[in-house]
Amino acid sequence: MDVQTLTYVIVGITFALYIGIAIKSRAGSTKEFYVAGGGVPPVLNGMATAADWMSAASFISLAGIVSFVGYDGSVYLMGWTGGYVLLALLMVPYLRKFGKFTVPDFIGDRYYSQGARTVAVICAIFICFTYIAGQMRGVGVVFSRFLEVEVDTGVYIGMCVVFFYAVLGGMKGITYTQVAQYCVMIFAFMVPAIFLSVMMTGHIFPQLGFGAELLDASGNASGVYLLDKLDGLSAELGFAQYTEGSKSMIDVFFICGALMFGTAGLPHVIVRFFTVPTVKASRSSAGWTLLFIAIMYTTIPALAAFSRVNMIESVNGPDGKGIPHEQAPSWVNSWEKTGLIKWTDKNNDGLMQYSKGDANEMKIDRDIIVLATPEMANLPAWVIALIAAGGLAAALSTSAGLLLVISTSISHDLLKKNLMPNISDKKELIFARLAAAAGIVMAGYFGINPPGFVAAVVAIAFGLAASSLFPAITMGIFSTRMNKEGAIAGMLAGLGFTTVYIIYFKFVNPAGNIPDNWLFGISPEGIGMLGMIINFVVAALVCKVTAATPQSVVDMVESIRFPKGAGEAQDH
């Protein structure tokens, strides 16, 4: 079978699996819809959380960033994985002990204020819609190439699939669907990485191949290490050496911090730990999640380096002088049809030239690198089809988790806890599903009109989480003195500052988005950490000049600080 037929078959099988699981796991109560009944085993929850968190940004875009920028891309690897350590140590056991459905639930009760709950809902929805824009873009990219449909059509198909298992199954359906999606995702990512590692270095483990010598045409060690070759190729084409960074230290520090603290403040990740039965299980679940994430994240640098070498040599030719466009490899022709690769013959010599600066004739979208890698390396057709299924699994799994947060924020935190306190369980479930359906429509819009490439959009969402929810949750757990006025002021200040900064450089003045114009040299991707600092400072100052926290709340905070038992997820 050809690539397209195989893709239809493999993607169709995985979609049928996801929908079948959703139907079998259909939620029958708000507890099942919100937290999967609270009885998910730690290992399964670890796989589901890994799938929920390793979105299209991880599967599709992260290796693309590392492939194009080299050392500078490592900030994403460090920031996103480091955030899980913070999450496991600082938040998971305490929030599980508190025993509520959502992050706004915790903030509303901890800060004894419907206003605080509402601000948290706004923050959560803002973060989730920013995040989901990247996921739907990823869905469109995969479909546009492998199913040969328009990007918009691909987004519509993805919306339909997510609708089934997010709206029908809720957290219960999403959890077990995400277990299946993790298996598809990790298999799809590792297979081409292992193929390339064996072909280029002789090592079956890509992590070892990353630091190994390349093989020559006869299959013997060439004496040239992979990273040395990349440094040489990069220098020849006018790029910075692959193993050297170009970002300033302060920007690296702030981007890494924004990603770490943002991870610990992501509502769709935090809520996953409400689905396990005990506090001990929540800690165990966090450990399993780190393990499952590490499998992919330790492989990404290797796959990125393999892909970079193949891409440069297949476009510029073995001598580096370029090849005629009519002799372009098939992967270039395939991706040109999607508009994600463009060639402009600037010197009218008919040769493709990929380099840095004005002489560059190739525009190659970063988001295609992982998806195009099997074609670049002439891997079997089934591997190409498999990676398409993996990319879709990554994007759809996270989209479902984000949509659930949006729906629960609206149905539970706004309606049940604010506007309609006497609503029945059945009606609340109906409103949750309607909110999820509305969220899917909005997500589709952002997928068709994305504000940037996948990983950059997702990085912004992490910055928003770091500047808004992370400080409020942390102070809510570890400070008995923090009151509602301080928390609300801090969230509004942090979110407002970060949002204005990002909008200015990404939309109002994108041409000015250069280091010389950034505040303290901090890019929009890293500004969330400065927003977080502002949040903490404003909250502390406001807390000092306002009323003290009620004693009943102080007692509640002290009780969750010692998580020996587990609170039952509840509405009251």
Token representation of residue 287? 């450990």
Least confident span in 271-275, 489-493, 502-506: 271-275
Choose the most confident range, by mean pLDDT, from 244-253, 389-398, 521-530. Answer: 521-530
Tokens of 548: 């003290």
Distances in Å between the alpha carbon of 282 and those of 65, 83, 92, 291, 339? Answer: 32, 16, 6, 14, 44
Residues 259 and 368 in one domain: no
Any domain includes 512 = yes
Of 7-11, 209-213, 392-396, which one has max mean pLDDT? 209-213
Phi, psi of 364 (to 5 degrees): -120, 120
User: Is residue 92 assigned to a domain?
Assistant: no
DSSP string, 106-175: HHHHHTT-HHHHHHHHHHHHHHHHHHHHHHHHHHHHHHHHHS---HHHHHHHHHHHHIIIIIITHHHHHH
Kindly state whether residue 295 falls inside one of the protein's structural domains.
yes
Round to whole Å and give the CA distance between 93 and 560.
9
φ, ψ of residue 222 in degrees (nearest 5): -85, -15
Judgement on whether residues 139 and 62 belong to the same structural domain of the protein: yes
pLDDT over 70 at 389, yes or no: yes
Do 253 and 361 reside in the same domain of the chain? no
Both 174 and 317 in one domain: the answer is no
What is the separation of C-alpha 212 from the centre of its chain, rounded to a whole number of angstroms? 30
Give the model confidence (pLDDT) of 281-312 as tens digits: 877 888 888 889 889 889 999 999 998 888 88
Q: What are the tens digits of pLDDT across the range 325-350? A: 888 888 888 888 877 888 888 888 88
Q: Which residues contact 127 (CB under 8 A, 6 or more apart)?
A: 266, 267, 461, 464, 465, 468, 469
Looking at the structure of the chain, the number of domains it has is: 2
Residue 355, classed as helix, strand or coil, is coil
Q: Per residue in 85-125, pLDDT tens?
A: 787 777 777 877 776 667 888 888 889 888 888 888 888 88
Would you give the DSSP letter of residue 478?
Answer: H
Residue 39 has what pLDDT?
67
Domain range enclosing 345: 226-237+309-325+335-376
| Same domain (yes/no): 426, 451 | yes
Q: Is residue 567 scored above 50 in pLDDT?
A: no
Q: Give me the mean pLDDT over the 146-155 stretch.
A: 74
Place of tokens 């890293």: 526
**Residue 471 included in any domain:** yes
User: Does 462 share its domain with 522?
Assistant: yes
DSSP 3-state of 323? strand
Q: What is the pLDDT of residue 518?
A: 92
**CATH for 158:** 1.20.1730
Classify residue 404: in a domain, yes or no: yes
Mean pLDDT of 57-74: 82
Q: What's this model's pTM, rounded to 2 decimal places?
A: 0.79
Q: Check residue 295 and give left, alpha or beta (phi > 0: left; psi -120 to 50: alpha).
A: alpha
Instruction: Tell me how far apart the alpha carbons of residues 405 and 131 are, in angstroms, rounded to a whole number.
Output: 12
Residue 98 lies in a domain: no
Residue 97 lies in a domain: no
Cβ-contact 535, 490 below 8 angstroms: yes
Query: Are 64 and 183 within one domain?
Result: yes
Tokens of 273: 């730990």
Q: Which residues contact 103 (CB under 8 A, 6 or more apart)?
A: 95, 120, 124, 267, 270, 271, 469, 473
pLDDT of residue 167: 64
Instruction: Give yes or no: residues 210 and 356 share one domain.
Output: no
265 and 365 fall within a common domain = no
Which H or E element spans position 198?
helix 170-201
DSSP 549: P
Same domain assignment for residues 366 and 398: no
**Is residue 76 a part of any domain in this protein?**
no
Whether residues 450 and 502 fall in one domain: yes
Residue 314 and residue 390 in one domain: no
